[in-house]
Each structure stands twice: as C-alpha cells, then as structure tokens.
C-alpha cells in the first residue's frame, strides 16, 4: 500500500514537472513568435516609409507657392495651401494625357490580342520548330530600347514616316508582343488538355477552339497583360522623345518634361503637381484591377 502511494506521488510529481515544462516552452515560443512578428512589422513600416518619402515630397511641394519652395524647406509642410500649381499643371497636361490615352489603349489591346493568339498557337499547336520560334520571340524582351533608336530613326527617315502617336502605337505593340506571348503561353499551358480534346471531338478546328473555348476563359491573363502594357506605354519616355514629335504632339511624358524644364526659372510646385497628375491613371488602374492582376499572374502557375 505504501509502495503504491509512493508510486502515485512520484507519477504526479513527474506529470506536474512535464506540465510546467510545457507551459514554459509554450510561453517561450509565444514570446519568440511575438518578437518575430514585431520585427516583421517594423521592417514593413520602415520599407513603407522609404517608398513613400518621394511621394511625401511631391505632395507637400505641389501645394507650396514659389516663395516656400527651397531645398532647406523640402520636408516642411506648406504654411498655406496653394492649388494654383495643380490648376496650371492640369491645364498644361490635359491635352497630352488625352493623346497618351489615344496611344496606350489601342497599343495595349492590340498587343494583348496578338499575344493571346501567339500563346495559344505556341502552347497547343506543336508544329516543327515551335520552341525555336518562341525563343526568338522572347529575344525581343531583352533588346534594350537604346539599341534600336538609331536604326529605327534612319528607317523612318528613309520611308518618310512622320513622328507621332501612330508610330508610338506601332512601337509599343511590337515591343509588347514578347511579354504578352510569354504570359498567354504560360496560361494556356495550364488549361486541361481534355478541354481542348473535347472541342476537337465536337468538330471544332483550331480557330473555332480558340474563339469559342479558350478565349472566354482567358480574362485573367488579359487583365494582367492590359495592366502591364498600359503601364509600360504610359510611362515610356524614350520612345516618346525620339518618335513622339514635339511636346504639343506627343504623350504626357513629353509634356511633363516640358513642364519641368520649359522656363528659365523652374516652377517646382507645378512640376511636382504635374508628376502626380501624370501618375494618376496608372495608379487608378492598379487600384481598380490590382487584385485581378495578382490572380491572373498566379492563374497560370499551376497546371490543372
């Protein structure tokens, strides 16, 4: 009886020690998790502050009158809000923003359609040399703009082609085909083969399969491509500088450059306001379609 009681007492003591050790281990793990979370949030806040610093400078300077703008007062808030910078910048940039929309919308749509067709053919039509053709198309992604400026300028002069929005549309379509083809090809590779084979069994040819079966389920990739092309074409400056004509004929990037350097005394307030105005369309596109952009990028990552 005494031996049984002693054994029970020993077992109870061991259980209490184990429970205490588990509680101590759990508390230590909880403290470690809390410290790790705090470090992650601190790094995120620091990174966000670094990213938003230029935006802060642009924003506060855009509301300052010329007497308040100086390098020594860059970080200071304006003593009074001056909206004239925004009014003047919008007045100067509005026509150019219209021309940019006339450029980026057709360029994005055309390059998306061509990339979709290329991606479908290269992913589902295994003709001889398909991989070689795809490789050569991808080479276009790695050719820098600077490498083609002089040859293209000479070609335009030889052919007598005038600079303007039409030329920029063509250039952005051509330069957009490699990336759009890559995105659509990866997406179409994830489409179940049984879906394509079912269409063939029903008597659909390649074109009918594309337009009736594949195209309706390609919306996620079209969203990705349209956002990508819209942003690339809208923010482009080098093509616009060489082939956009004058600032009165070219897109908004040329007009913004003229706004920043068009006078003897630079109007920093108007330049900052103009930069923010010029960035609004791409910002609104990402706000409206950002979640679809991420979903579209991930949609072709897993075959199913």
pLDDT at 304: 46
Selection from 65, 75, 94, 236 nearest residue 167 by Cα: 236
Kindly state the tokens that stand for 181.
């083809």
How wide is the angle at C-alpha 294 spanned by C-alphas 293 and 297, nearest 5°? 85
Average pLDDT estimate for 246-257: 84
Helices 219-235 and 268-299 cross at an angle (nearest 10°) of 160
Which long-range contacts does 143-152 make (Cβ < 8 Å, 24+ apart)? 145/175, 145/238, 145/239, 146/238, 149/238, 149/242, 152/242, 152/243
Q: Mind listing the pLDDT tens digit for each residue in 139-173?
A: 888 888 888 888 888 888 888 888 889 899 999 99
In CATH terms, 84-299 corresponds, of 1.10.3720.10, 1.20.210.10, 3.40.50.11540, 1.10.287.3510, to 1.10.3720.10
Q: How big is the CA angle at 172 (ends 166 and 174), to the nearest 5 degrees? A: 105
Interval 55-111: pLDDT, tens: 888 888 888 887 787 777 788 888 878 888 899 889 989 999 999 999 999 999 999
């Amino acid at each position: 009886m005494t031996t049984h009681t002693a054994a029970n007492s020993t077992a109870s003591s061991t259980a209490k020690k184990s429970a205490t050790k588990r509680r101590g281990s759990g508390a230590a793990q909880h403290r470690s998790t809390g410290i790790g979370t705090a470090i992650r949030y601190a790094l995120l806040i620091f990174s966000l502050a670094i990213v938003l610093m230029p935006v802060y400078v642009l924003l506060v300077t855009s509301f300052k009158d010329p007497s308040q703008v100086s390098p020594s007062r860059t970080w200071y808030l304006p003593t009074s809000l001056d909206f004239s910078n925004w009014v003047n910048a919008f007045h100067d940039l509005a026509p150019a923003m219209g021309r940019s929309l006339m450029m980026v919308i057709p360029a994005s749509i055309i390059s998306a359609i061509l990339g979709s067709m290329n991606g479908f053919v290269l992913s589902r039509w295994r003709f001889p040399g398909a991989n070689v053709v795809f490789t050569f198309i991808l080479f276009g992604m790695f050719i820098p703009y600077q490498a083609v400026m002089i040859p293209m300028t000479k070609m335009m002069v030889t052919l007598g082609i005038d600079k303007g929005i039409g030329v920029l549309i063509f250039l952005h379509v051509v330069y957009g085909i490699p990336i759009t083809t890559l995105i659509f090809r990866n997406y179409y590779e994830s489409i179940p083969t049984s879906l394509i084979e079912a269409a063939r069994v029903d008597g659909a040819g390649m074109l009918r399969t594309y337009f009736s079966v594949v195209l309706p389920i390609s919306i996620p990739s079209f969203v990705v491509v349209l956002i990508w092309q819209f942003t690339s074409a809208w923010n482009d400056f080098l093509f616009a500088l060489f082939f956009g004509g004058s600032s009165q004929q070219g897109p908004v990037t040329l007009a913004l450059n003229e706004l920043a350097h068009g006078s003897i005394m630079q109007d920093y307030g108007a330049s900052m306001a103009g930069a923010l105005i010029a960035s609004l369309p791409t910002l609104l596109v990402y706000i409206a379609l950002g979640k679809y952009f991420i979903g579209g990028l991930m949609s072709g990552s897993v075959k199913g």
